[in-house]
Amino acid sequence: MTGLLVVTAVPAEAEAVRAGLPDADMVVVPVGVGPAVAGAATARLLALAEAAGRPYQGVVSAGVAGGFAGAVAVGGTVLGTRSVAADLGAESPAGFIPVDELGMPPELLGGGVAIAADPDLLATLQSNLPEATVGAVLTVSTVTGTARSTEELRRRHPDAVAEAMEGYGVGVAAAHAGLPFVELRTVSNPIGPRDRDAWRMREALAALTTAAAALA
């Protein structure tokens, strides 16, 4: 049996995680950007490990995220209570309709529009990262870039503290494999009007290295 599978979007995030991991029994893999490629790649990694007789014990979606102002500061660490497919649904004259309210059978939703973190894994990370902000992490295919869309996300998901692009896809893969899952993020920028110059990627990656040590 192998330890945790830690998946990131890009190599820089994977390198930051590896720098903080004291346990060589963990596998860290950059799988790509967005929920579709992240979910597909994670599912393949889990299937290959199981077929080889070395299944993983759990899955972590890790990396950099945007944080909601007032919930978490730039450079802060976030632990996801659940990973939410925030833009999966339909538009209507009355506003956005989440996919689980469109009348589709639950079995077609891959575990629902939110994948809950494993309570034991989350509790362990909370114990090891007492300063981390805990709340929902939104998975989006289009990064939020206006004040209006930011407020709309806040209204629909009042427990959300951050947004990223892979967590829900990774969580679905873990759920289908019957494995514990959690999302770990560090914040590079506030969610809102897009200002690339305000991003603090170096600080977020350094925080990710520090936070990764908690995975032990």
Bin 110: left if φ > 0, else alpha if -120 < ψ < 50, else beta.
left
User: Domain residues for 173?
Assistant: 4-215
Cα separation, 215 vs 125, in Å, equals: 7
Cα separation, 74 vs 23, in Å, equals: 27
pLDDT for position 100:
65
Q: How confident is the prediction along the chain (216 residues), in pLDDT tens digits per residue? A: 468 999 999 999 999 999 998 766 789 999 999 999 999 999 999 999 999 999 999 999 999 999 999 999 999 999 999 999 887 766 667 667 666 665 666 555 555 688 999 999 999 999 999 999 999 999 998 888 888 888 888 988 899 999 999 999 999 999 999 999 999 999 999 998 877 777 899 999 999 999 999 988
- State the DSSP H helix or E strand holding residue 164, giving kind and residue range, or none if neither: strand 160-164
pLDDT for position 1:
45
Domain holding 67: CATH number? Answer: 3.40.50.1580
- C-alpha 170: how far from its chain's center? 8
pLDDT for position 22:
72
Cα separation, 46 vs 55, in Å, equals: 7
Cα separation, 195 vs 183, in Å, equals: 25
Q: Which of 169, 205, 186, 172 is nearest to 79 (CA)?
A: 186
Q: Which of 64, 87, 85 is nearest to 75 (CA)?
A: 64
pLDDT for position 107:
59
Cα separation, 172 vs 154, in Å, equals: 23
pLDDT for position 80:
97
Find tokens 């560090």 and name the residue: 186
Number of domains in the chain: 1
Helix 11-20 vs helix 201-212: crossing angle, to nearest 10: 40
Q: What are phi and psi of 108, to 5 degrees?
A: -90, 0
Cα separation, 117 vs 99, in Å, equals: 20
